[in-house]
Amino acid sequence: MGLFDKLAGWLGLKKKEVNVLCLGLDNSGKTTIINKLKPSNAQTQDIVPTIGFNIEKFKTSSLSFTVFDMSGQGRYRNLWEHYYKEGQAIIFVIDSADKLRMVVAKEELDTLLNHPDVKHRRVPILFFANKMDVREALSSVKVSQLLCLENIKDKPWHICASDALRGEGLPEGVDWLQDQIRTLRT
């Protein structure tokens, strides 16, 4: 049973759908993480891959994921921003070893947090400081500092160090998110 099944099962959600957006720069590990979370029988539909813009959607009985890369695709931004409205939880993935693009990740995060469809909603945000297995990777505390996460006052957030290749750190993050989603729904 995948973590994703566990999450859905634990929540006891059978009818209503929860939309989780998974965002981050390209190459941060989103697809790897999502593949670890989703059950093997999840239906994946890739849409609009042809215009150099990558968005992946899949769903199970009760949870629906939308995954997209935020970097280098400024001109396609309006194509994915409309998903913000429907997102009830966000997973934001950072490549902890990519120090050069940490500032780009911060810019994308700030743009996300200031978007009208996100700004005034209490959407829980789970951060994965991914690739912690890489020797020169920054700690999750350092990543948190560089992204100025302490400035996020109006949304519940949590950061977990993760190694998506081995699946380390993912259960902790999923546990936190499931608590948050449960709170949202009661």
Catalytic site positions: 73
- Residue 72 or 116: the one with the smaller Cβ distance to ligand GDP is 72
Q: Does 64 help bind Mg ion (rule: CB under 5 A)?
A: no
Only one of the segments 1-9, 37-45, 127-135, 152-160 lies at the binding site for ligand GDP (rule: CB under 6 A); that segment is 127-135
Name the token pair of 99: 């120090």
Q: Does 140 bind ligand GDP (CB under 6 A)?
A: no
Nearer to Mg ion, 5 or 56 (CB): 56
Asked whether the beta carbons of 131 and 96 are under 8 A apart, the reply is: yes
Is residue 27 a contact residue for Mg ion (CB under 5 A)?
no
Return the CA Rg of the chain.
15
Position 178 contacts ligand GDP (CB under 6 A): no
Interhelix angle 3-11/30-37, nearest 10 degrees: 60
Q: Which residues within the stretch 48-107 sit at the binding site for ligand GDP (CB under 6 A)? A: 69
31 binds Mg ion (CB under 5 A): yes
Give the nearer residue to ligand GDP in terms of CB position, either 118 or 170: 170
* Amino acid letter for position 157: W
Asked whether residue 130 is marked as a ligand-binding residue, the answer is yes
User: For ligand GDP, how many residues bind (rule: CB under 6 A)?
Assistant: 16
Which among 97, 131, 96, 92 has a CA at the least distance from the CA of 111?
A: 92
Q: Are 88 and 41 in contact (CB under 8 A)?
A: no
Specify binding-site residues for Mg(2+). Answer: 31, 50
Residues forming contacts to Mg ion in the complex (CB under 5 A) are 30-31
Annotated binding-site residue numbers: 24-31, 50, 72, 130-133
